[in-house]
A and B are shown apart, each in its own frame.
Chain A
Amino acid sequence: MFEAVAFYLFAFLTIAMFFITVTTSQALYALSALAAGMIFISAFFFILGADFLGAVQIIVYTGAVMALYAFGMMFFDTTREVKEKKGNKFIIVGLATLCAVIIVAIFAAPIVSDNMLSLYPALEGAGNTQSVGLVLFTKYLIPFEVAAIMLLVAMVAGIVLAGKKMDLSLTLLNAEEIEKMDEEINKKVLS
């Protein structure tokens, strides 16, 4: 009974949060609702007994949404509403509904046709973390390694793009040096 209550509670909360995320025109509401929704999803993992994935969901998405907040802080005045350019509402609603139906159909199809096989049944005595590790390093080894390489590429690209003036710290320069630097930038802009 507790599982059912918890499931419906968190299902409602998650959907409500993501609904706020897409409908509100206030950046702070959208971001906070997104963070809340992501954390509420971890409840489903806990209900299903996948504690490890639940904890990882919390850790990963708090960090990810925190980065989004940083961007929100840079691009918007988060205490004001953002004026959105709204296109045809019916197309948006129609496409969104279609996507939702298709995704549900994709995930429900194997369950309906009884075509689900557990190729890697849970080992006796292996805890949550061990089971994740076992599957990750046997069945999903190649996707795992590919994801690692992709992340490495992204990291190198990020460092190359952002790291041009990494050693320069404005707080360590004195006023004259900063003035000099500004003049040089102005010269470049003017010429």
Chain B
Amino acid sequence: MDTAYLIETVIKVVVILLVFSALAGIGTYFERKILAFMQRRLGPMNVGPFGLLQVGADGIKLFTKEDIIPSNVVAPIFKIAPVITAATAFMAAAAIPFLPQFTIFGYTVHPIVSDIDVGILYILGVMAVGLFGPMLGGMASANKFALLSAARAAAVFISYEVVTGLAILAPIMMVGSLSLIDFNNYQIENGWILWTQPVAFVLFWIAAFAETGRTPFHLIANDHEIIDGFGTEYSGMRWGLFFIGEYANMFFISFVIPILFLGGFGDGSFLGAVALLGKMAFFFFFFLWTRAAWPDVRPDQLMWLCWKVLMPIAVVNVVITGLVMMF
């Protein structure tokens, strides 16, 4: 293993970590602003121009707030749970190609930490581990609402993972590879997978909402019925870590969906890179849009939807894809 590769990897890891931690903070600002405009409010306005420095104010608050460990909790698990959520979100980013490769000062940079040939499986698997955070946090804190949200996290987990896996299976069969780079290259030649696999696209998109715990499936931490669920007993930066994990996950899944279905970064030109960022921005915006426009569903409705509606559709989609590819 040569030194240049090692240094390059370390730099890439640090850049991704810094950029997406910052983006997670700015993501909260976007969320509050967009929600506010959709509800005819102004949102954060007082700190800085257009409330832009609100992110910094929130950061200072989260970092300096006292970190309380309540007396009846299982302390080690309670402490490690937020770290799991945040860490796994960033671990999943290791196999995502954020931009096409580019040359800077005569050195070719691949903006992907590691192009393992099972990229999409790895991403989905590690992102799924992220749900251990809310569940462990909920089970470790001696709180009824937290326990409820832990039970919901387990239910959400076993419901959506089947749908994600089966939905992504049909495109994988077409591409014949699990690497996101191969997905991108396949779409250069054959056009976007969205046109040939619209059902898989919609299913994966719906499952992405469950994966990130966003609004129609926000039942893990529903403020209006179970306070903040797993976050009820948390304070300060530990609570903030849950947030960073959630928003980083949103950004990463917003990268993964366009790369899988919407042509990714295309042929690697500058325009393609900008297009990928644009698509990512749209999917991130859509997460916020649904939050403003949709009510939450109950846990039993989510399980009904995943197991009785989405999973059969996904299976039928896989079978039809297989038949079409065979004949």
User: Could you say which residues of chain B place their CB within 8 Å of the CB of A169?
Assistant: 300
A67 within 8 A of B: yes
B17 within 8 A of A: no
Given the known interface contacts A26-B74, A129-B178, the answer about A63 and B157 at a Cβ–Cβ threshold of 8 Å is yes
The residue that B158 contacts in the complex, of A54, A67, A129, with Cβ under 8 A, is A67
Q: Are A39 and B129 in contact (CB under 8 A)?
A: yes
Distance of B193 from chain A, by nearest CB (Å): 18
A150 within 8 A of B: no
Give the docked Cα–Cα distance between A72 and B125 (Å). 22
Q: Are A59 and B124 in contact (CB under 8 A)?
A: yes
Main secondary structure on B side of the interface with A: helix
User: Could you say which residues of chain A place their CB within 8 Å of the CB of B151?
Assistant: 70, 73
Q: Are A128 and B117 in contact (CB under 8 A)?
A: yes
B61 within 8 A of A: no
B122 within 8 A of A: yes
User: Could you say which residues of chain B place their CB within 8 Å of the CB of A73?
Assistant: 139, 147, 150-151, 154
Please indicate which of the listed interface residues B118, B121, B177 has the most CB atoms of chain A within 10 Å of its own CB.
B118
A157 within 8 A of B: no
Q: Are B124 and A128 in contact (CB under 8 A)?
A: no
Give the docked Cα–Cα distance between A110 and B136 (Å). 42
Convert B103-146 into 0s and 1s, putting 1 for each residue whose CB lies closer than 8 angstroms to a CB of A.
00000000000001110011011101101100110011010000
Give the docked Cα–Cα distance between A73 and B154 (Å). 10
User: Could you say which residues of chain A place their CB within 8 Å of the CB of B298?
Assistant: 171
Distance of B124 from chain A, by nearest CB (Å): 7
User: Could you say which residues of chain A place their CB within 8 Å of the CB of B83?
Assistant: none
B1 within 8 A of A: yes
B73 within 8 A of A: yes
Distance of B131 from chain A, by nearest CB (Å): 8
Distance of A38 from chain B, by nearest CB (Å): 10
CB within 8 Å of B: which of A64-87? 66-67, 69-70, 72-73, 78-79
Stretch at the interface among A27-35, A89-97, A177-185: A27-35
Interface residues of B (CB under 8 A from A): 1, 72-74, 76-77, 80, 116-118, 121-122, 124-126, 128-129, 131-132, 135-136, 139-140, 142, 147, 150-151, 154-155, 157-158, 161, 165, 177-178, 298, 300
Other CB < 8 Å A-B pairs besides A66-B131, A78-B139, 15 of them?
A: A28-B139, A39-B129, A52-B178, A54-B118, A56-B121, A58-B128, A59-B128, A67-B154, A69-B135, A69-B139, A69-B154, A78-B140, A129-B118, A129-B178, A171-B298
